Structure 1
């Protein structure tokens, strides 16, 4: 399997990109958005596994992360939500003219970003004539796990500080032991210099605000948010039941709300799974990759909008 590295010039930045190519013409393209304190090259065998099934994976290191950082001052400097959404939009525009079906997927912070991108009314995304066949989010940062979620006062003070010093870098480490039930994965993540755990006050506030908006979307009445049939989308959600970083129940509530609105929603639980489902115990990571590939390939010949169908599956 071949890979190709490149760059994406966007909004006064140059972002690192990478493609995991298929052997022969791809059946589908998956545009992937990584999570907080992560980068495109840290997803183990997930992308090669999908490429072997004919799904070409294209990703980029987000602004402030991975190989898109050239100096320490840039760590975590994502900009506000408008910049984050603009980067994702620019990345997708480079794939708009391709004839291969396009799917959009994100993990953790990236999972919330792809949902915000496709659902928020102020996003540059428009569903009209969209080439995206399906939107996939796993372990999305809709809400932090109750054991680590900051209080409303802390969030308010952080938001205020972000307005005063938006580019102030704050070290916000996650517990490596919460990443996976595989001790080696936890150790490798902790030792990875590209997973630096820094965020700016502006970026951290934006990340939490996007989650709060998605939570409010989940709690709003279905009657207030009913989507016309022409706007129905394919959504896939995956979450480990023992995730200690992001809240499983928040993801489940949003998936249910979108299903009530008429979207075609699949929600898959992974019993005992931790935050990095792609790098959890062997049985989980294998099933997880299989589920993603199956879901994409089943929809290769479907339009972006399809008949409403809500599924709730428990895996493992």
Structure 2
């Protein structure tokens, strides 16, 4: 055993152990897949967006029978895919709104599956897809809608140096649980894991932790069995997600675009405290032009897949049609009451 070896023997043995450890860790090295240099003109095909670096982002589309009066770019959440919108998509199409839902880079069937493309990479892709939709539908109202991680991406896009000229944003339970809202043990644990074993994957929280994203059991089964869903996540990808949530939380005071922020009281993924700080930042910085807020007492994280999804879907459709009108469900009034109760 090493502990009983002579000093002469321990030196080579230690070096061998260090080399072995280095080799093991090198297999778990952090792997990021940011977009490459521009090599092709971006394009929109029936089945995919093509990005400037040639990456194909597969898409699903729900189109109205006639010419749409509005067009939505719909971005899914973390480890989800374009299939995230298959429940609300037909409702939007029936209301005359075209929905284009891509797999974001690193997710679904897009390039770099399971690897983090970087905040700038996700935001850049969203900007490119927005421009392509504007080209295809120059006369329609253009709205960007994001769920969870997708909402965080759009908050960053709306507050970047050159935000795209769009008609509004719908942020469905945006992921704003940044490090500032995490306890020191979570922050330290993530840093340690992402630094030492970035390629190690985790699949689900250990028992007895149980987190539900929706009260719609069928939707959860569909999500879990969908081959496009990512079930195991690298630690460095989790770190990337938290970087994005940090950026989204920081973006809240600078958010100036027309927007509808939606949140469910039963959300078990984005804490109420994080959403509260975000909403308060929106109003403190620009009280007269603050985005519309929708609070759903019976809503979960996947608001547009919940059993009570008719309310948030109907509100989003109505807001896209008339940003000045009250939300049909009264969720804007509920948001005011919830904020007042937190004061």
> Could you tell me the TM-score, scaled by structure 1's length?
0.77
Secondary structure of 1:140 counterpart: coil
Distance 1:39 1:149, change over 3 A: farther
Match for residue 116 of structure 1?
156
Residue 189 of structure 2 corresponds to which residue in structure 1?
A: 154
Q: Which runs of no fewer than 5 residues in structure 1 stay unpaired?
A: 219-224, 303-310
The secondary structure found in structure 1 opposite 2:280 is: helix
Aligned to 1:102, the other structure's residue is in SS state: strand
The aligned residue for residue 86 of structure 1 is 124
Does residue 170 (structure 1) correspond to residue 198 (structure 2)? The answer is no
2: distance between equivalents of 1:216 and 1:147? 15
Report the aligned-residue RMSD: 3.1
For 2:92 and 2:260, locate their aligned partners in 1 and report how far apart those are by CA, in whole Å. Answer: 16
Displacement of 1:17 in angstroms is: 1.9
C-alpha spacing 1:147/1:202, structure 2 compared with 1 (3 Å) = closer
Tell me what 2:166 maps to: 132
Q: Distance in 1 between matches of 2:256 and 2:235?
A: 35
Q: Could you tell which deviates more after superposition, 196-205 or 232-241?
A: 196-205
Contact 2:57 2:103 in 1 (8 A): yes
Mapped contact 2:48–2:56 kept (Cα < 8 A): no
Unaligned 5+ runs, structure 2: 1-45, 326-330, 336-343
Q: Distance in 2 between matches of 1:176 and 1:105?
A: 28
Alignment-derived partner of residue 113 in structure 2: 75
Alignment partners' CA distance in 2, 1:199 and 1:149 = 22
CA contact (8 A) 1:96 1:131 kept: no
SS of residue paired to 2:333: strand
Return the offset for 1:255: 2.4
| Higher radius of gyration, 1 or 2 | 2
TM-score by length of 2: 0.72
The 2-side partners of 1:148 and 1:158 are apart by 16
1:185-196 to structure 2, matched below 5 A, reads 185-196=219-230
Whole-Å separation in 2 of the counterparts to 1:205 and 1:78: 9
Q: 1:271 aligns with which of 294, 297, 321?
A: 297
* SS of equivalent residue, structure 1 residue 94: helix
1:32, 1:106 within 8 Å by CA — same for their partners in 2? yes
Equivalent position SS for 1:313: helix
2:279 corresponds to 1:255: yes
Q: Is the 8 A contact 2:175 2:248 kept in 1?
A: no
Q: Is 2:317 the partner of 1:297?
A: no
Partner of residue 69, structure 2 = 27
In 2, Cα distance between equivalents of 1:169 and 1:117: 30
How far off its partner does 1:110 sit?
Answer: 0.8
Tell me the equivalent position of 1:314.
334
Contact 1:159 1:205 in 2 (8 A): yes
Aligned to 2:28: none
For residues 149 and 277 of structure 1, do their structure 2 counterparts lie closer, same or farther at Cα, with a shift above 3 Å needed? farther
Q: Does the CA contact (< 8 Å) of 1:29 and 1:101 recur in 2? A: yes
Q: How far apart, in 1, do the equivalents of 2:195 and 2:268 lie? A: 27
2:243 pairs with 1:206 = no
**2:217 corresponds to which residue?**
183
> Is the contact made by 1:139 and 1:248 (CA closer than 8 Å) also made in structure 2?
no
Give the number of the structure whose residues are more often strand, by fraction.
1
- Count of matched residue pairs: 278
Distance (whole Å) between structure 1 residues aligned to residue 256 and residue 121 of structure 2 = 27
Instruction: Between the two structures, name the one with larger relative contact order (CA 8 Å, sep ≥ 6).
Output: 1
1:105 correspondence with 2:145: yes
Q: For 1:176 and 1:193, how far apart are their aligned partners in 2? A: 22
SS of 2:291 mapped into structure 1: strand
Which string of whole-angstrom CA distances, capped at 9 and with x for unpartnered residues, describes residues 136-185 of structure 1? 211111017989996121132245348xx5xx362343788612112222
Distance 1:200 1:112 in 2: 20
1:151 aligned counterpart, secondary structure: helix
Q: Determine the structure 1 residue equivalent to 2:338.
A: none
